[in-house]
A and B are shown apart, each in its own frame.
Chain A
Amino acid sequence: MSKPLLKKKTYGLLAEYDSARAIYHACEQVRDAGYKVWDSHTPFAVHNLDKAMGLAPSVLPWIVFAMGMTGASLAMLLQWWTSTIDYPIVIAGKPYFSWQAFVPVTFELGVLFSAFGAVFGMLGLNRLPMWYHSLFNSERFLRHTDDKFFIAIEARDPKYDPQKTRELLERTGALHIEEVED
């Protein structure tokens, strides 16, 4: 690319807080200020912080439901086809399609596929794994998995302004604010 190499791009502003209460109220203020491309980073899931950020509910349950139905249907189909069409054999005088006996395997495969949907669906929605992220350039950010709480407002946000955004974050009671490189 023909971009000047010396000028480093800015990812955004990173503000640090030291309690669940502080980040909760700070998120409410950033949400009310109308920012869209921003996030908060916490050592644990702070209760209702998604609502303080104004996030929409997760779509994961729909993925899991679709996967579960697929797994259960495939299991029943497999058992029906193998025991009536491809390899019909009388066992214990039961009908070829003795569906009652096929319930356990149908249930288990439904659960198995649902679990795959839940785990890999969650990772997909979160765009994980992503081993490099701009925020890891910040030394202070390392403590987001320990005891510090962060808000990151990205420079991509249409409302982003290095000065005004910094002032907003200062008003929310941030203990430390820094600009993070992309």
Chain B
Amino acid sequence: MAQYQDELDPITGRKELVEGDHVTFHDVTEAVARPIEVPSSRWWIAFIPSVMLLGVYLISIAYLLYMGTGIWGLNNPVAWGWAIVNFVFWVGIGHAGTLISAILFLFRQKWRTSINRAAEAMTIFAVICALQFPTFHTGRPWFIYWPLPLPNQMEMWPNFRSPLLWDVFAVSTYFTVSLLFWYVGLIPDLATMRDRAKTPIRRFAYGLFALGWRGSTRHWLNYEKAYMILAGLSTPLVLSVHTIVSFDFAVSQLPGWHTTIFPPYFVAGAIFSGFAMVLTLLLPLRAWFKLEHLITIKHLENMAKIILLTGTMVGYAYAMEFFIAWYSGNPYESFAFQNRLFGDYWWAYWIMVSCNVISPQFFWIKRIRRSVVWLFILSIFVNIGMWFERFVITVTSLHHDFLPSSWDYYSPTVWDVSTLVGSFGLFFTLFCLFVRYLPTVAIGEVKSVMSIANPHYHGDASHGEHH
């Protein structure tokens, strides 16, 4: 395919990760730091609507606290409604950030370096959004500390056999470790911002959080070890988090939930949806901040390939669920799946299948993988599809349970909708603040994967030596 000829690294022969002729280290620093130091007025175009949506969220929560969870559409068989759907949706979004920062690091995928910072930020903000829903679903969020094993006057301890409690530990550990990992990665870049700062406030603020970093090789030695260990810890952690989230369903006895395929299926779906959200965020970011030579079309293409892979895995899981429902010979299980396809929620099921199974298949075509317009459109479809997946799993199994007399139809209220839409406001507001004040690309890491960073680089491809 001659029309997609990418630049190659003179020493390794692999594709160049930073595009352009004779890009220096200083150019990379400038490209990332300038948009923070001299902000564009376009930032407000993203920030103001985000804050308005955040306002919708705050109003929804205020009214919820005033009235109680009765304002949501929950009914008797469907006691888990949009709150759990949104929780699983947001936690899943976060997983792509950890996949990029940890799993791709362990696999030595150097292209991760220009997208990991923004993806990790996305993880943290997505987990913040996720944590809103179980917190407010408790009805009395001021008692949210009750799942923690704290000695109390009731002399009671939490039930460690409950998947809901495992979730508390899994998600809070995930949030803490993601935050630490992100911050460790930020330290050298905060030092860059500190050393470039022109105003005392900036120098103080970046300097405070840069902890006095001075790029010492003795420090890099421990730092790189810490980074690798954190990647090694985050990898099983991220797999465990969505596994445990799926246990919330799989450990119960409900047809459609009680299946062993749930943990891998949830993890694949989480990575699938997370990569879609990374694309949704990075496509405007790289254009507005003029980072196309750092977050190149090859990076986007690689992400599209991961979406294709995980989307196909999700499609396989859907098919396998049906196979097992038939093969098990269990009439309840078979009914649950017939009900998914052709029952009251047939429309949600087919939205899910079209978005999650069909839309990623377009990524077999290289032209589509390399088109920012197509990538953006398909990423939105995947986001929608993965929200519907959680809706289908939660609601179709609940609304027709074992006792036909208690069957009911669940529909959300305006407050369910406003809380979900508002949570996007929370997410985008946090992301806008991140791109305004922090380096959106890991400056130091990108420099380290440029061919001029290789100690064996001669500046000329013809006599690249091999030690």
Q: Which residue of A lies closest to B161 (CB)?
A: A101
| Other-chain contact of A42, B149, B220, B445 (Cβ < 8 Å) | B220
Structural contact, A115 and B233, CB atoms closer than 8 A: yes
Q: Does B213 reach chain A (CB closer than 8 Å)?
A: yes
Q: Which residues of B are found within 8 Å of A108, using beta-carbon distances?
A: 166, 169-170, 173, 237, 240
Inter-chain CA distance A24–B453, complex, in Å, is 11
Q: Take A55-B217, A104-B240, A114-B229 as given contacts and tell me if A131 and B184 are in contact as well, using a CB distance cutoff of 8 Å.
A: no
Structural contact, B222 and A122, CB atoms closer than 8 A: yes
Q: Does A180 reach chain B (CB closer than 8 Å)?
A: no
Instruction: Report how many A-B pairs have Cβ atoms within 8 Å.
Output: 206
Inter-chain CA distance A123–B227, complex, in Å, is 12
The contact string, 1 if C-beta is below 8 Å from chain B, for chain A 9-21, is 0000000000111
Inter-chain CA distance A61–B26, complex, in Å, is 34
Q: Does A129 reach chain B (CB closer than 8 Å)?
A: yes
Structural contact, A82 and B223, CB atoms closer than 8 A: no
Structural contact, A44 and B448, CB atoms closer than 8 A: yes
Q: Take A21-B455, A55-B218, A132-B212 as given contacts and tell me if A105 and B225 are in contact as well, using a CB distance cutoff of 8 Å.
A: no
Structural contact, B156 and A87, CB atoms closer than 8 A: yes
Structural contact, A114 and B212, CB atoms closer than 8 A: no
Q: Take A55-B217, A61-B229, A111-B233 as given contacts and tell me if A44 and B444 are in contact as well, using a CB distance cutoff of 8 Å.
A: yes
Q: Which residue of B lies closest to A114 (CB)?
A: B233
Which residues 81-121 in A have Cβ within 8 Å of B in the complex?
82-83, 86-87, 91-92, 94, 98, 101-102, 104-105, 107-109, 111-112, 114-116, 118-119, 121
Structural contact, B26 and A98, CB atoms closer than 8 A: no
Q: Does A164 reach chain B (CB closer than 8 Å)?
A: no
Question: Which of B29, B229, B230 has most A Cβ within 10 Å?
Answer: B229
Q: Which residues of A are found within 8 Å of B26, using beta-carbon distances?
A: 146-147
The contact string, 1 if C-beta is below 8 Å from chain A, for chain B 159-197, is 111000110011001001100110110001001101110
Inter-chain CA distance A98–B229, complex, in Å, is 31
Structural contact, B184 and A87, CB atoms closer than 8 A: no
Structural contact, B207 and A131, CB atoms closer than 8 A: yes
Q: Does B112 reach chain A (CB closer than 8 Å)?
A: no
| Other-chain contact of B452, A19, A47, A118, A131 (Cβ < 8 Å) | A19
Question: Which of A20, A109, A115 has most B Cβ within 10 Å?
Answer: A115
Instruction: Tell me the minimal C-beta distance from A132 to chain B in angstroms.
Output: 7
Inter-chain CA distance A53–B218, complex, in Å, is 9
Task: Identify the stretch in A135-143, A155-163, A165-173 within 8 Å (CB) of chain B at 4 or more residues.
Answer: A135-143
Q: Does A175 reach chain B (CB closer than 8 Å)?
A: no
| Other-chain contact of B222, A53, A116, A126 (Cβ < 8 Å) | A126
Q: How large is the interface on B (under 10, 10 to 19, 20 to 34, 35 or more residues)?
A: 35 or more
Q: Does B224 reach chain A (CB closer than 8 Å)?
A: yes
Inter-chain CA distance A182–B26, complex, in Å, is 28
Which residues 30-55 in A have Cβ within 8 Å of B in the complex?
39-50, 52-53, 55
Q: Which residues of B are found within 8 Å of A135, using beta-carbon distances?
A: 214
Structural contact, A115 and B177, CB atoms closer than 8 A: yes
Structural contact, A115 and B192, CB atoms closer than 8 A: no
Q: Which residues of B are found within 8 Å of A86, using beta-carbon distances?
A: 155, 157
Q: Which residues of A are found within 8 Å of B213, using beta-carbon distances?
A: 128, 145
Instruction: Name A residues whose Cβ lies closer than 8 Å to a Cβ of B.
Output: 19-21, 24-25, 27, 39-50, 52-53, 55, 57-58, 60-61, 64, 78-79, 82-83, 86-87, 91-92, 94, 98, 101-102, 104-105, 107-109, 111-112, 114-116, 118-119, 121-123, 125-126, 128-133, 135-136, 141-147
- The 5 residue pairs across chains A and B that have the minimum distance between CB atoms: A147-B25, A129-B211, A122-B226, A24-B455, A82-B157
| Other-chain contact of B220, A45, A64, A131, A133 (Cβ < 8 Å) | A45
Q: Does B457 reach chain A (CB closer than 8 Å)?
A: yes
Other than the given A21-B455, A87-B156, A111-B240, 8 more pairs (CB < 8 A) read: A19-B452, A21-B458, A39-B217, A43-B25, A44-B444, A121-B226, A128-B211, A128-B213
Q: Take A108-B240, A145-B188, A146-B192 as given contacts and tell me if A41 and B215 are in contact as well, using a CB distance cutoff of 8 Å.
A: yes
Q: Which residues of B are found within 8 Å of A47, using beta-carbon distances?
A: 448, 453-455
Q: Does B219 reach chain A (CB closer than 8 Å)?
A: yes
Structural contact, A58 and B225, CB atoms closer than 8 A: yes
Instruction: Tell me the minimal C-beta distance from A150 to chain B in angstroms.
Output: 8
Inter-chain CA distance A114–B24, complex, in Å, is 37
Structural contact, B221 and A58, CB atoms closer than 8 A: yes
The contact string, 1 if C-beta is below 8 Å from chain A, for chain B 117-158, is 000000000000000000000000000000001000001110
Q: Which residues of B are found within 8 Å of A130, using beta-carbon distances?
A: 211-212
Question: Mind listing 7 A-B residue pairs with CB under 8 Å?
Answer: A21-B457, A101-B161, A105-B169, A112-B173, A115-B177, A121-B226, A145-B213
Inter-chain CA distance A15–B16, complex, in Å, is 31
Structural contact, B160 and A118, CB atoms closer than 8 A: no
Structural contact, B214 and A144, CB atoms closer than 8 A: yes
Q: Take A109-B169, A125-B222, A130-B212 as given contacts and tell me if A44 and B176 are in contact as well, using a CB distance cutoff of 8 Å.
A: no
Q: Which residues of B are found within 8 Å of A39, using beta-carbon distances?
A: 216-218
Q: Which residues of B are found within 8 Å of A147, using beta-carbon distances?
A: 24-26, 29
Q: Which residue of B lies closest to A92 (CB)?
A: B161
| Other-chain contact of A101, B160, B181, B214, B458 (Cβ < 8 Å) | B160
Inter-chain CA distance A165–B102, complex, in Å, is 42
